[in-house]
Structure 1
Amino acid sequence: MLWAAAGVVTLGFLVALEFAARHYGLRGPLTNQAREVIFAPSSGPLLYAGLALLMVVLTWRQRLIAAGAAIGVDLVFLLVRWLAGAQLSFGNGALWVVLGCAVLAVTRRTGQERALLLKGVGLALLLVAGHKTGDTWLLITSKTRPQVLDQYVATADHALGNPSWLVGRLVEASGPIGSHGLHLVYGQLPLAAALVGLYQLRHVAAERRFPAHHLVRTFLVIGLLGPAVYMIFPVVGPVFAYGADGGHWATADLWPHTMPPIGVPHAIPFDEITPRNCMPSLHTAWAMTLFIHSRKGSRAMRFAGAFWLVATLTATLGFGYHYGSDLVAGVVFALTVEAAMRAFARGWDRSGVRFVAYGATVFTALLVAYRWLPRQMADLPWLFGPLLIVAMGSVIFFYVRTTKPWDAQPVPAPLPGPRSGQHDSPDSQAAEPQPEPA
């Protein structure tokens, strides 16, 4: 019943976004994903990342068959597009295999095997749908929020020393090599998350169940909830509001060489194209959860997680995409969502409830301060700057205190049943215990 209710709610949400996008004359997430069955996909690597997530429930033989089928279908599509002189792209094959596995689960599997395969399919489709849902959310923010609150955040950011201006000059001084490297890290954050997620899910095929908690779930929930805050607190970022990228909509061309003046902030009108996707910084939130989940990996993975977090923070500030205040809010937002997902998987105890309530309170207080106390924050940086750091640090401290007992709990033993080598047949109908939620 829980999974059925979750499916109905998700479908209703996607349908609502579809209608919202149609209202503005554009295709919504459902239409965009359905078109990629035949038409040239706009997210080929993402479709194959979804297929890779699905493969965690398959045996090695089934994985080879699925990968071969996906590549074969894509080669046929590429040949047809090349002969027709159309745009060359890939990814249709991956989507065909995912949908084919859904049909196989419904028609040829039963019981635990059907549930496991359907959860793998759902995880793959949610990864792609989450990306397209985010695109639709960003469209809605630009169309429905004609005014932005950048002046409020830029004024409040004086309490932190306007880090975006400082890091922006450092990135500019690093030359094209440093800039291109940061762009690569910034743009490939989903790929890094997929790799960590695959590492966490590597035993699903053998144990015939998903772990109770993993990175992909938190990643998707952050992407779902974050844009709702964009609607409440629309901000475009310093490179647009105070830089050349904003064109005639920019308050002035100040970023990154001239600090913004301290005045009386007010909402400013902006175009209907630029997404209002700064508060909170979801790239910071995603990188923070990637860092958290990489802590239990190998030394190389732990190093990569720390590197990706530092590089992402540098890029978000250095490219002028975010203010320092966005990053503070992003860290608090990430830890609150991560703790909520852990508590949901392990059971809501008193410590989990208290932390989620505390994190939500701190996050709300940050938004209220940025909106209603920016001038005071700018006039008293020696007071409000440390307060912001202490607020964020307290959430980090209590998160560690809260989740440490959870991590110390023993991991449940694998469920009994055949191992991966005994599930090559699509007609396998072995009756096994129900898997953990994906």
Structure 2
Amino acid sequence: MSIDEVAVARPGRSVDRSPTLVAGGVLGVVAALVTVQLLASAQGFQGPLESLVRDYVLTPKSASVPWAGLALAMVGLTSRQRIVALSAAAGIDVSVAAVRYAAGGPLTVGNGATWVLTAVGVYAAVRWTGEQRRSALKGVALGALLILATKFGDAWLQITIMAGPMVLDEYAQLADHALGNPSWHMGQLVDALGSVGYGVLHWVYIELPVAAIAVAIYQLRHGWPTHYLVRTFLMIGLVGPIFYLLFPVVGPIFAFGTDGEGFQAGNYWPNLVPTPDFTPAPMAFDEVTPRNCMPSLHTAWALALFIHSRGGTWWLRLGGTFWLVCTLTATLGFGYHYGVDLVAGAVLCLTIESALRDPERGWGWFRIRLVGGGTIALVVLLLSYRYLAVPMGRFPEVSGPIVIGVLAAVILGFYATFFAREDSALHRWGTVGSRPAVTAALEAPAR
């Protein structure tokens, strides 16, 4: 008899702590939202709860996020229930949008999705029982978390401005010499692509949550696996913004371009790479630009999407690759990030994914070394950007390969731990089975 069987055979030895964890999580989310809302009200900017109220009765801040949350909640419903819920949300949205537009407001949607998401949660909690109730509430919770995370994130950007009146862009830009100032070169490339190329990149950049929901729905189409993209997305959004307070950076288009509105160090981006300044100093900046560059969370999220799309069909893998390439191009080409931001964002993603992936394998040395090594790598990178920016800028031929080498080491460790065995099996079996089938076969013994 296995250890797991012994545990099952001895009732009372294991305690289901799920209700306690769920209750604790809900209380934590509510406490965070209330705290940030109180701070927002005191400082005069829109808080998460105020923004949520607008989604219900006024003009939603985003048209796509409420629908992305509702789409995620549909995973926990039957086909008939999905049709009813989506039809109701669409009908409400059309009606509310028509009234708003007739009254002189903007033509946008989102109210219906928010109302129906709430209604499904309430109805499931009150009327359904058993597995139907559990699955529906899990889907609603994930959809609601996605929406609340964006509300919290918007408010957090205002907090970064309050906490970081001085920005460290001169350090980041000097360190970026080690990578050849990629933002300047990508900025010129985006200009050469014209309005169509810019439009595609901009749409990909702002609709990253929608792409993530598409991958997540594919992963959840047959039930609830032990790990899926939304878990990584939410964790990146929870951990990443903390670094904004430690390393406030506004990005090259603001600190070195015309969007700085008089606070910039000069009008360099994207056509002129500034001469290295080996006496960097913190810069005072405005009270409207978020300090949300280091690390690049768009890079982290796009890389997570790419990783999770690897287990899907060919079109999902192609879409994940397309979204990653376009997101990296946009983050640099729009002047929102330096190359060093992207490296830090990639390391953050792989570290968090290493902590969450394949939970059935437990916390052996394989996971400890990945998470610990990734954490150390991220801390070393950030400290280097801040305190070793001068030698990095003076000796790019040495510091550049070191930065790329750190990223490569984290990538290789992650690949060797989670993907090498699967890819080896695919190569060995050829076209006998699909990637999802091979993955399932490899994971079966561990479960």
TM-score (norm 1): 0.89
Q: How much does 1:222 deviate?
A: 0.8
The answer as to 2:94 corresponding to 1:94 is no
Q: Residues of 2 paired with 1:283 and 1:85: CA distance?
A: 34
User: Where does the alignment leave 5 or more consecutive residues of structure 2 unmatched?
Assistant: 1-19, 423-438
Count of aligned pairs between the two proteins: 408
Q: Helix, strand or coil for the counterpart of 2:202? A: helix
Mark the CA change 1:81 to 1:351 in structure 2 (over 3 Å): closer, same or farther.
Answer: same
- Whole-angstrom CA distance in 1 between matches of 2:100 and 2:326: 38
**Equivalent residue, structure 2, for 1:331:** 346
Residue 130 of structure 1 and its aligned partner are, at CA, apart by 1.0
Among 277, 288, 295, the residue aligned to 1:280: 295
What is the correspondence of 1:57-136 to structure 2 with a 5 Å cutoff? 57-136=76-155
- Whether the aligned pair in 2 keeps the contact of 1:169 and 1:318 (CA below 8 Å) is yes
CA-CA distance at 1:85 after TM superposition: 3.6
| Match of residue 236, structure 2, among 219, 222, 227 | 222
**Distance in 1 between residues matched to 2:416 and 2:101, nearest whole Å:** 57
User: Residues 89-139 of structure 1, C-alpha deviation per residue, up to 9 Å, x if partnerless?
Assistant: 321111111111111122112233322221111111111111111111111
Task: State the Cα distance separating 1:25 from its structure 2 match.
Answer: 1.0
Alignment of 1:140-179 (within 5 A): 140-179=159-198
The match for 1:245 is 259
Equivalent position of 2:281 in the other structure: 266
Alignment of 1:321-360 (within 5 A): 321-342=336-357, 344=359, 346-360=361-375
Which residue, out of 304, 308, 312, partners 2:327? 312
Shift, 1:159, TM fit = 0.9
Amino acid at match of 1:381: P
Instruction: Give the distance between the partners of 2:66 and 2:400, measured in 1 at CA.
Output: 43
Is residue 409 from structure 1 mapped to residue 438 from structure 2 by the alignment? no
Offset from partner CA, 1:25-61 (integer Å, 9 cap, x none): 1231122113321112121221111111111111111
**Paired residues of 1:152 and 1:371 also in contact (CA < 8 A):** yes
Residue of structure 1 aligned with 2:380, choices 344, 365, 376: 365
* Structure 1 residues 279 and 411: CA distance shift in structure 2, 3 A: farther
For 1:42, which of 61, 70, 89 is the aligned residue?
Answer: 61
Worse-matched range after superposition: 301-310 or 244-253: 301-310
- 3-state SS of 1:296 partner: coil
The answer on whether the counterparts of 1:332 and 1:395 sit within 8 Å (CA) in structure 2 is yes
Q: Report the CA distance between 1:71 and its aligned residue.
A: 1.7
* Shift of residue 346, structure 1, vs aligned partner: 4.8
Aligned Cα root-mean-square deviation (Å): 1.8
Asked if structure 2 preserves the Cα contact closer than 8 Å seen for 1:141 and 1:230, the reply is yes
- Contact between 1:234 and 1:278, CA under 8 Å: does it hold in 2? yes
1:18 aligns with 2:18: no
CA deviation profile, 1:128-168 (whole Å, cap 9, x unmatched):
11111111111111122100000001011111111111111
**Aligned pair in 2 of structure 1 residues 83, 195: CA closer, same or farther (>3 Å)?**
same
Q: In the TM superposition, what is the alpha-carbon distance from 1:345 to its structure 2 partner?
A: 6.3
Inter-partner Cα distance in structure 1 for 2:30 and 2:50: 13
Match of 2:425 in 1: none
Q: Which moved more, 1:341-350 or 1:235-244?
A: 341-350
Give the AA of the match of 2:162: K
Q: Are the counterparts in 1 of residues 360 and 446 from structure 2 also a CA contact under 8 Å?
A: no
Partner of residue 399, structure 1: 414
Moved over 4 A (4+): 343-346
Take 1:120 and 1:186, find their aligned partners in 2: how far apart are those partners?
25
Offset of 1:181 from its aligned partner? Answer: 2.1
Distance 2:50 2:413 in 1: 43
Secondary structure at the residue paired with 2:146?
helix
Residues 333-392 of structure 1: per-residue CA shift (max 9 Å, x gap): 110011112265653222112210110000000000000000001111111100001000
| Most deviating of 88-97 and 333-342 | 88-97
Work out whether 1:378 is the aligned partner of 2:393: yes
Alpha-carbon distance in structure 2 between the residues aligned to 1:185 and 1:80: 30
Secondary structure at the counterpart of residue 337 of structure 2: coil
Superposition deviation, residue 82 in structure 1: 4.2
CA distance in structure 2 between the partners assigned to 1:120 and 1:33 by the alignment: 19
Deviation of 1:402 (Å): 2.1
Cα distance in 1 for partners of 2:123, 2:194 equals 52
Larger RCO of the pair (alpha carbons < 8 Å, separation 6+): 1
Candidates 245, 265, 272, aligned match of 1:231: 245
| 8 A Cα contact 1:44 1:90, kept in partner | yes
In structure 2, do the counterparts of structure 1 residues 319 and 345 end up closer, same or farther at CA, with 3 Å as the change threshold?
A: farther
> SS in structure 2 opposite 1:326?
helix
Q: CA deviation at 1:411?
A: 8.3
Flag the 1:257–1:85 CA change in 2: closer, same or farther, 3 A. Answer: closer
Q: Which amino acid is the alignment partner of residue 398 of structure 1?
A: G
For the residues of structure 2 that align with 1:256 and 1:87, how far apart are their CA atoms? 34
Q: CA 1:19–1:112 in 2, change beyond 3 Å: closer, same or farther?
A: same
Displacement, 1:21? 1.4
Structure 1 range deviating more: 185-194 or 54-63: 185-194
Greater shift in the superposed pair: 158-167 or 30-39: 30-39
Is 1:197 the equivalent of 2:197? no
CA distance in 2, matches of 1:164, 1:117: 44
Residues 188 and 197 of structure 1: CA distance in aligned 2, closer, same or farther (over 3 Å): same
Question: TM-score w.r.t. structure 2 length?
Answer: 0.88
- 8 Å contact from structure 1 (residues 238, 322) kept in 2: yes
Determine helix, strand or coil for the equivalent of 1:252: coil
Listed as ranges, the gaps of 5+ residues in structure 1 are 205-209, 414-438
